Amino acid sequence: MAEPTSKSTLKDYIKRKLGAPVLEINVDDDQLDDRIDEALQYFHEYHYNGSIKTYLKHEITQDEINSFKTNDTLTGSTSGTQAIAGQSYGESKSYVTLPEHVLSVLRIFPFNSGQTSSMFDIQYQLRLNDLWDLTSTSVLYYSQVQQHIKLINDMLVGQIPIRYNAHQNRLYIDYTTAKLNAGEYIIIECYRKIDPADFTDIYNDMFLKKYATALVKYQWGENLSKFQGIALPGGVTLDAQQIKTEAQEEITRLEEESRLNFEMPVMDLMG
């Protein structure tokens, strides 16, 4: 069996799975592209093999710092009578633009390194206490409590507040610009899509093959339903509604299986 390694070979696999060349699969090539793209989109968002946690580093520039200090002006425009019409608001431009393959952002690491902190800085003092714990207790004990120490640090020092939406590709950093310095790096912990153009083994994923085949099967039934009752050469009549019903059942079952067994925990994708 030839394993799919590209969109074109996946198309051939789906057609064979549905009965080609014994049967003619009445689905246009563009429709095949659309259904495979839909399957890939679902695979990226709801299957743990479709994305990967990664760390992006970005160097802060002076132009970005200057932009963070400016605002987009928004004007209130609502219907009806208002006591004061046309009220204006400012929305900070404190964002960096991320690549389109980023699905979600979990957090960013602090801008300032330990080399720039003085001995009176609260972060320095907290890290110093952590170091004392590490050297005065066993490593096993430290490994058990280090998550609790991190939570305490987050409560006392605070994580850098961020906002991100994949459709905007903007990572808003709600942080005082006084602590930003040009030339420093931020480390962005995020989930990114795995590009099938670079990692072609995605096309051979068992779930993706089944899901894409079910979507194409439904499209095939939808196309045939326009000619319901028309006999094919030899007197054969295809039951388009039966094909659609079977395909919809397969789609529902696969989506439930994905959400229950293969989806990443929801909290891990928030940020």
Give yes or no: residues 83 and 189 share one domain.
Answer: yes
Asked if 104 and 78 touch (Cβ cutoff 8 Å), the reply is: no
Q: How many domains does the chain have?
A: 3
Q: In three state form, how does the secondary structure of 34-92 look? A: HHHHHHHHHHHHHCHHHEEEEEEEEECCHHHHHHHCCEEEEECCCCCCCCCCCCEEEEE
pLDDT in the model for residue 131: 58
* Residue 240 pLDDT > 70: yes
Closest by alpha carbon to 72, among 54, 90, 53?
A: 90
Give yes or no: residues 142 and 257 share one domain.
Answer: no
* Residue 269 pLDDT class (50, 70, 90 cuts): very low
Last residue of a domain, one of 195, 218, 251: 195
- 1 in any annotated domain: no
40 lies in which domain range? 7-47+205-269
CA 48 to CA 32: how far, in whole Å? 24
- 66 in any annotated domain: yes
CA 248 to CA 187: how far, in whole Å? 43
Give yes or no: residues 213 and 247 share one domain.
Answer: yes
Last residue of a domain, one of 174, 195, 216: 195
Give yes or no: residues 210 and 263 share one domain.
Answer: yes
For residue range 87-124, what is the model confidence (pLDDT) as tens digits?
A: 899 999 999 999 999 999 999 986 554 445 555 555 55
Give yes or no: residues 213 and 240 share one domain.
Answer: yes
Give yes or no: residues 60 and 99 share one domain.
Answer: yes
Give yes or no: residues 154 and 217 share one domain.
Answer: no
pTM of the model: 0.76
CA 262 to CA 111: how far, in whole Å? 34
Give yes or no: residues 93 and 141 share one domain.
Answer: no
Give yes or no: residues 224 and 258 share one domain.
Answer: yes
